[in-house]
Amino acid sequence: MLLECSNLSKSYGDVQALKGVTFSLSRGLSLILGPNGSGKTTLIKILAGITKPDGGTLKLLGKNYFEVPRSDIGFAFEKTILPPNVRVEGYLRAVAELRGEDNVDDIIEIFGLGKHRTKRFRELSQGYKRRFIAAMAFAGGPKVVFLDEPFSNVDIIAKIELVEAFFELRKKIDIVIVSHVLAGLKDVDSLVLLHGGQVIMNVFGNEAKTLGGFRAVFPDEVVENDINRLVELIRSGKEPMRIEPVFPEEFIQRKLLGGWNIRQR
């Protein structure tokens, strides 16, 4: 197992943000999902060492999480803002040097940052800022990377390219995405769904792989959870009327209603 979280709790005064949460995530690419207020931010703050839990244990690859060297763990937060004048390649090289492995050329290629190597943070579009922030978390070859809402404010093409980058990177570096949307990630290795500070679902392997995260509505077809079909239709010149994320609320509702199979329309 990559991450084992056992009976983790955290309260803010009377508010129990995490109510003795127990789940595991496997190696590869995993998701921590939950709607607003479910406890995701509290969990990622604990993982980042910003907040201390009231109780419970966390293990990374079998070891006490809090004793793992910080350089083994990369983070990219939704609200990360870099100094406006830092340049893409220079900054990634500085981070990689601190962590000790020079994987910068690979990372630049995987995130499609080649043409932007010498650009400053402020000169990048929103989509490329996101790629740069995500790339930073992988620079220097950490063992695991936690990404907080990596798809916020990016268009569908940037989203697809980020997903492709994560699929490529998970071969070497374990990745955990924390999000309130599934955002087109179909083929994940494990998933935990939080709701009201509790785990309502924790799935692995094939069960996790069949869950999807978006629905694209074309005039004559609805594509749910199938990124390949979506790309095929867009490339064949069809224009989706809308692409909407499938929110965890919908999963929670489906689970509470008893039906768990995702409808393929």
Ligand X SMILES: Nc1ncnc2c1ncn2[C@@H]1O[C@H](COP(=O)(O)OP(=O)(O)OP(=O)(O)O)[C@@H](O)[C@H]1O
Query: According to CB under 6 A, which residues from 43 to 102 bind ligand X?
Result: none
Sign of CA pseudo-dihedral 79, 43, 257, 230: positive
Which of these, 200, 63, 187, 75, lies nearest to 138 by C-alpha position?
75
Measured from the CB atom, is 40 or 215 closer to ligand X?
40
Measured from the CB atom, is 96 or 252 closer to ligand X?
252
| Smallest distance from ligand X to CB 55, Å | 16
| Smallest distance from ligand X to CB 259, Å | 25
Which of these, 48, 45, 62, lies nearest to 6 by C-alpha position?
62
Express the helix, strand and coil content of the chain in percent, nearest 5 each. 35, 30, 35
Please report, for residues 22, 35, 65, 203, 217, the alpha-carbon distance to residue 214 in angstroms, rounded to integers and kept in the order given: 27, 15, 33, 19, 10
Measured from the CB atom, is 36 or 261 closer to ligand X?
36
Measured from the CB atom, is 41 or 225 closer to ligand X?
41
| Smallest distance from ligand X to CB 163, Å | 21
* SS3 of residue 102 by DSSP: coil
The two structure tokens encoding residue 98: 């601190």
Contacts of 155 (CB under 8 A, 6+ apart): 127
**Is residue 215 part of the contact set for ligand X (CB under 6 A)?**
no
Selected from 42, 190, 202, 225, the binder of ligand X by CB under 6 A is 42
| Smallest distance from ligand X to CB 85, Å | 30
Which of these, 238, 263, 241, lies nearest to 250 by C-alpha position?
263
Query: According to CB under 6 A, which residues from 1 to 40 bind ligand X?
Result: 12, 15, 17, 34, 36-40
| Smallest distance from ligand X to CB 197, Å | 6
Selected from 41, 103, 190, 202, the binder of ligand X by CB under 6 A is 41
| Smallest distance from ligand X to CB 12, Å | 3
> What is the binding site for ligand X (CB under 6 A)?
12, 15, 17, 34, 36-42, 180
